[in-house]
Amino acid sequence: MKAAGWRYAEVADETLADDIDEVAGNFASKFYYELDNGMFLINDTDMITSDADTSVTNDLGFNVSISGPLAMRTSLLTEYHSDPLDGYKKTDNTLGVSLVYSFK
């Protein structure tokens, strides 16, 4: 999916005088695959690009049904910024493990 739009962000860093307020492009990909009964692989990728920064997030997840509406989810969230603020890295990874309850 591709889309054009407007990017607005309030900047919390005092070194920048203005908030970000500009035209931006958005690209997204959503992938969902059922491996077996109660086992799912999910990969969501989003990219927002503008003059200020290009940010890419990728969320790779694996869900396994435990019992009835309960499932365990493990995920790896990767974030990238082409022009991070001073003191911040370009990439960041977060490993997640969670218990999910499905309302049906």
Summarised one tens digit per residue, pLDDT across range 61-91 is 999 999 989 999 999 999 999 988 788 899 9
Predicted local distance difference test score (pLDDT) of residue 16: 57
> Maximum distance among all alpha carbons in the chain?
53
Summarised one tens digit per residue, pLDDT across range 8-65 is 777 766 665 567 778 889 899 999 999 998 899 999 999 999 888 899 999 999 999 9
Predicted local distance difference test score (pLDDT) of residue 30: 96
Taking the CA atoms of the chain, what radius of gyration do you get in angstroms? Answer: 18
What are the structural domain ranges in the chain?
26-101
Predicted local distance difference test score (pLDDT) of residue 17: 59
| Strands 20-36 and 39-49, bridge-based pairing | antiparallel
Q: Are 59 and 46 in contact (CB under 8 A)?
A: no
Predicted local distance difference test score (pLDDT) of residue 46: 95
Angstrom distance (rounded) from CA 75 to CA 42: 9
